[in-house]
Amino acid sequence: MFSFIYVEKSIKKHPRTLKILSRFPKSTVITCEHYGEIFNRHQQDFRIQKKDPCLILAEKHNKRIMPAPPEYGLNTTHNYYFSHMLNCIYDCRYCFLQGMFRSAHNVIFVNYEDFIEDIRALAVKTREPIWFYSGYDCDSLALDPITGFSRSFIEAVSLIDNAFLELRTKSTQVRKLLEMKPRDNVICAFSLSPSAVIKSLEHQTPSLAARLSAAKKLQLAGWPVALRLDPIVFVENFRAEYKFLFEQITEKLDFETLHSITIGAFRLPKRFFKTIKNLYPEEPLFSSQFNSDNGQVSYKKSTEKKILDWCEASLKSRKNCPPVYRQSLE
């Protein structure tokens, strides 16, 4: 899977490093001083790297848990995000990571215990519910069999009374969760799109059917499952495509017990959009009619409103609809 693995010298003997390396016996391991030497260097081509990315094992020294962007929460007050990984094994054309990072290599931070300590420290500062979102700079579960991420974090967070953990994913790697006792304060949130969008824009991701099947397994095992329909892409036959998606959701999942559904139209920070458009000039998605203001590129306000109004109404028209939240710049 990874031909070359860069490892920071200081964590070369970390038990998690050794465990991860044992999964890649054929990879060539290269020692570096700091992951930034490879990940943050100038003049990298994300598109070329994405074809054959390397893995980088590193230690995250600071800024491990960050306040979540305002539109990221579920109408909750205390929202944080964290990333035990940078980048993702999938290749979604709309993903902001292509614009945010110079490199397409995958970084895994192996010092989970420091992340968990920071989560605990934040949680004790309030008695109110405090949310920790994973899957902002990576897919939470895509490499779970290798990273052992879910077990480490779920076991730790489930011991904190007021903490909630959201694991956002497009993957079907739920085996580790199924081996564990379900926790009410750990929500597995599946990002879903219509099959046509998955086929065209979410390269190397599991199919819609596979994601729904993984979500159903978790539901049956008693885990809270949420759905994230974000970004919603305004395509030809938009209503037909998304209507069919909603039908598949209600048909395959236990719709009324879903924890929540969030909806958000395609949007990107302007500078990320420009970078990604230059990386993939032939991509139809970046050729739609967009508005560009307040540093964001998005559909025209009227279009965005129509998209979200229609999706929300369509979802809520279904029997026993779970809470639907909008993720919007407004």
Partner 1 sequence: MELTGTTTLLVALKAEAQPLIDHYKLKSARQHPFPIYANEQLKIVITGIGKCPSATALAHTAAFFSALPNHIWINFGIAGHKDHTIGTAVSVSKVINKSSQQTWYPNLIKLPNTLVKSLTTYEAVVGDYVDDTLCDMEAAGFMSAGSSLHIKSECLFVFKVISDNKLSDAKNITKNLVAGLVKMHIPTLEALIKKAEIKVQDARNGKLELGSELFEKWHFTQTQKSQLREGIRRFRALDKETLWQDMELDNCATAKDVIENLNRRLQKLLPKF
Strands (E), the chain: 4-8, 28-32, 55-58, 65-67, 78-82, 85-86, 91-92, 106-109, 130-134, 163-169, 186-191, 202-203, 225-232, 261-265, 267-269, 291-293, 296-298, 324-326
- 310 interacts with partner 1 by CB under 8 A: no
- 25 interacts with partner 1 by CB under 8 A: no
Would you say 171 and 142 are in contact if contact means Cβ atoms under 8 Å apart?
A: yes
Residue type, 233: V
- 7 interacts with partner 1 by CB under 8 A: no
For the segment 227-256, give every residue that binds partner 1 (CB under 8 A): 233-236, 241
For the segment 280-299, give every residue that binds partner 1 (CB under 8 A): 280-289
Would you say 132 and 82 are in contact if contact means Cβ atoms under 8 Å apart?
A: yes
Binding mask 72-111 for partner 1 (x = CB under 8 A): ----------------------------------------
Binding mask 120-159 for partner 1 (x = CB under 8 A): ----------------------------------------
User: Token pair for residue 133?
Assistant: 């979102």
User: Token pair for residue 164?
Assistant: 């909630």
CA-based nearest residue to 271, from 20, 99, 128: 99
Position among 1, 3, 239, 257 found at the interface with partner 1 (CB under 8 A) = 3
- 48 interacts with partner 1 by CB under 8 A: yes
- 49 interacts with partner 1 by CB under 8 A: yes
- 301 interacts with partner 1 by CB under 8 A: no
Position among 9, 12, 41, 175 found at the interface with partner 1 (CB under 8 A) = 41
Q: What is the DSSP letter of 206?
A: P
Name beta bridge partners: 58: 109
User: Token pair for residue 230?
Assistant: 């974000």
| Nearest to partner 1 of 40, 320 (CB atom) | 40
Q: Which residues form the interface with partner 1 (CB under 8 A)?
A: 3-4, 28, 30, 32-33, 37-38, 41-45, 47-49, 51-52, 54, 196-197, 199-201, 233-236, 241, 279-289
